[in-house]
């Protein structure tokens, strides 16, 4: 009888070890690292937040203590560790103005396989003119007032408006810095994932590089963001080019300029908003 119990105990231990190994392997392939765009000015520290999450069988809170590295131009510039919510905060002080691509990645650790994510750090002078562009105004077939998401290459709304990339390129080549604005969609993913999708689409369609902002679907969200940017010293953001009434009103309510493109229905255009039939006409309205 004792031999039988010993065999049963040995079998249970082996089964436990096997299950643990399988779960550990599953954990190693279920991690996701995400990050979004940031905005700062030269010689001002920027705090970049990277988030490490896991999916699959073990739907637990993200662990703490995992090393996260920040890379600029392929070199590690700082390292931090995740907290109990899987967040790591990495500080970096850029010296020169421009848009700096950066990468965050998981450092050497036995519990997480190599994973990384990238975004842009916009380093602009506060005195440089800025303009905000609603992503919906850049896409054909984007519904009025609807959240613009980028779920796949063939999805409706992915085609750029005629001349939009060329005209926006002219506006940003020597004068404006551009802030792209879009709406969150939890069905598509986190705001970081939406940010990454937008960045990829803009790159594929040859739009100028800018700073991407993902906001809630609340109609007041961009007005609040505009106030936040102005309070932070970005007071040269005085022009908005968008498609929806709520976007235009956020600027008009603050006595700033708003251009709507393409030409909306009369009921959708606020009284003081400028209207451009197509992107070729936008420069004439600024």
- What tens digit of pLDDT does each residue of 60-96 get? 545 689 999 999 999 999 999 999 899 999 999 999 9
For 204, the enclosing helix (H) or strand (E) is: helix 191-204
Count of residues in the chain? 286
pLDDT, residue 60, reads: 52
Q: Which of 122, 121, 128, 155 is nearest to 139 (CA)?
A: 155
Q: Among 118-132, 148-162, 169-183, 209-223, which is the least confidently predicted range?
A: 148-162
What's the CA gap between 265 and 133, in Å, rounded? 19
pLDDT, residue 19, reads: 41
pLDDT, residue 154, reads: 40
Please check whether residue 259 is in contact with residue 285, taking contact to mean a CB–CB distance below 8 angstroms: yes
pLDDT(44) > 60: yes
Residue 280 burial by Cβ neighbours in a 10 Å radius (0-12, 13-18, 19+) = middle
The three-state DSSP-derived secondary structure of 148-192 is CCCCCCCCCCCCECCCHHHHHHHHHHCCCEEEEEEECCCCCCCHH
Our measurement of the distance from residue 10's CA atom to the centroid of its chain's CA atoms, rounded to an integer in Å, reads 51
Banded pLDDT at 249 (limits 50, 70, 90): very high
Percent of the chain with pLDDT over 70: 80
Angle at the Cα of 175 from the Cα atoms of 173 and 179, rounded to 5 degrees: 85
Which CATH superfamily groups domain 130-285? HAD superfamily/HAD-like (3.40.50.1000)
For domain 31-123, say whether CATH 2.60.40.10 is its number: yes
pLDDT, residue 24, reads: 44
Pairing of strands 98-106, 177-183: unpaired
The ranges assigned to domains in the chain are: 31-123, 130-285
C-alpha dihedral sign at 111, 103, 215, 221: positive
Q: Which one is predicted more confidently, 45 or 8?
A: 45
pLDDT(10) > 60: no
């Amino acid at each position: 009888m004792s031999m039988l119990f010993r065999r049963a105990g040995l079998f249970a231990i082996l089964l436990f070890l096997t299950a643990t190994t399988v779960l550990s392997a599953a954990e190693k392939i279920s991690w996701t690292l995400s990050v979004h765009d940031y905005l700062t000015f030269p010689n001002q520290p920027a705090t970049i937040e990277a988030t490490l999450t896991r999916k699959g069988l073990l739907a637990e809170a993200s662990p703490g203590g995992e090393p996260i590295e920040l890379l600029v131009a392929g070199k590690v510039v700082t390292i931090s560790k995740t907290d109990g919510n899987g967040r790591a905060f990495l500080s970096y002080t850029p010296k020169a103005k421009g848009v700096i691509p950066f990468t965050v990645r998981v450092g050497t650790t036995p519990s997480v396989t190599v994973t990384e994510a990238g975004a842009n750090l916009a380093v602009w002078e506060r005195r440089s003119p800025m303009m905000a562009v609603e992503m919906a105004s850049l896409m054909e077939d984007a519904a009025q007032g609807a959240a613009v998401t980028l779920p796949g290459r063939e999805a409706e709304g992915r085609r750029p408006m005629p001349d939009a990339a060329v005209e926006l390129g002219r506006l940003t080549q020597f004068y404006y810095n551009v802030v792209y604005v879009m709406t969150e969609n939890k069905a598509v993913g986190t705001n970081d994932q939406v940010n990454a999708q937008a960045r990829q689409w803009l790159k594929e369609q040859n739009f100028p590089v800018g700073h991407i902002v993902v906001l809630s679907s609340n109609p007041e969200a961009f007005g609040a963001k505009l106030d936040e940017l102005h309070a932070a010293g970005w007071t040269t953001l005085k022009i908005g080019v968008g498609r929806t009434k709520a976007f235009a009103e956020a600027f008009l309510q603050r006595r700033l300029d708003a251009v709507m493109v393409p030409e909306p229905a009369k009921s959708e255009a606020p009284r003081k908003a400028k209207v451009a039939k197509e992107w070729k006409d936008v420069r004439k309205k600024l």
